[in-house]
A = this chain, B = another copy of it.
């Protein structure tokens, strides 16, 4: 459906097609439980149904949506299903979708303040709000020495932090001459793989990333960290970066931030705190004991696109001293010069991250915070944690299953007491049924199943259902 003369879709056609799309999305959420949660297609099944060559002539939206329904939908794994317990939540909400629509509609590119002042200033304000909402240190606020910026993912945030830390440690020598210094970085054996990836990208080298052993709760052992740093210094290395995690991906383990932070302060090492999923828990003051010491962090990130009803991508990254970031990433070619930048009166967020271009992502975050209010967000975080506690109790009461770790928040790691193989079979059977989707990890060398509770529409009844399903499939797998 298009204007024959210009090929464009006119505003009035968009009104019609857009409203159909709204209904399509609303229908999807009303019927989402009817789809198999994990897509059941085989490799190549979708691409095989798509034409080899692009169309010469334009096609109608109806035809395209027909293909969405017939070809694309069977290849969707339904992250927004209330029966999705895999990996981590990537939950969204209708206010977030509306915010993303508005951002698409405005189509502004917020690379510098001047290219849309509201895009920068709303982001700065919303990031300051979140400092309060999460009980983060005042220094992270734009009104202090720091400030927040929306990044795409926690992977990019940690890369940004590593590069800024690298420059701080080398006094900008690595930006100028290359990363030739004997720098060392530190994570636990449980830290997310994105840190290793970033250490490689930043030219530090995997051999210079020290993996510190964890304790029984899978948290970094700070005494071993201190020991390793001492050893490295003795050997002529320059320890420059530590990543501590609040809620590891595998098991939701929480590193002792305060102890790690003290070591970092003593040795003048950059501390980045990755709270990608579990940072959301800090909306509720009763959970903030888990982030004690966060005031010692040089940078911090959490992802509203995981557990705060804001659609992907939306990672919030804060820095204690913004000059480290800006000095590291600034480049000002002639074609981007403008009065506001040259007067230093504004933030130009392209100097706060890898990319130059940026979307107006604070709109969706603003909509989510204002729609739910602090009260509504707290309600849902508490509800998810309560459901995880309920599931934990069932595991504890069961004879066949055991917990791998006592869950602090919304991720339950458990296993059938039988073999690793049995656990994998059980998981695959559930996933292949299409009724729910959960994933696994290995902890202390054993296969462990992960039930990550955080979807927008997951209710108590869904958690009851997955528990029944687990018990039912246990019997099925035992008696095939």
Contacts and interface: CB of A to CB of B under 8 A. Distances in A.
Interface string A311-340: 111000000000000001101111110001
Q: How many copies does the complex hold?
A: 2
Nearest to A20: B98
B205 A202 contact: no
Interface stretch (A192-200, A387-395, A470-478): A192-200
Contact of A61 (B98, B108, B156, B176): B98
Nearest to A152: B355
Interface string A1-43: 0100001110111110111011111111110000000110101
A102 interface: yes
A460 interface: no
Contacts of A370: 54-55, 58-59, 63-64
A439 B153 CA distance: 32
A90 interface: yes
Given A15-B23, A373-B59, A122 B46 contact: yes
Interface stretch (A111-119, A225-233, A291-299): A111-119
Nearest to A459: B6
Given A18-B22, A104-B100, A105-B24, A155 B335 contact: no
A17 B313 contact: no
Interface of A is mostly: helix
Given A43-B340, A58-B373, A354-B354, 19 more contacts: A13-B94, A15-B22, A18-B22, A18-B101, A21-B98, A21-B101, A21-B105, A28-B106, A47-B121, A50-B125, A58-B372, A63-B370, A79-B116, A90-B108, A176-B206, A177-B207, A179-B179, A201-B202, A305-B357
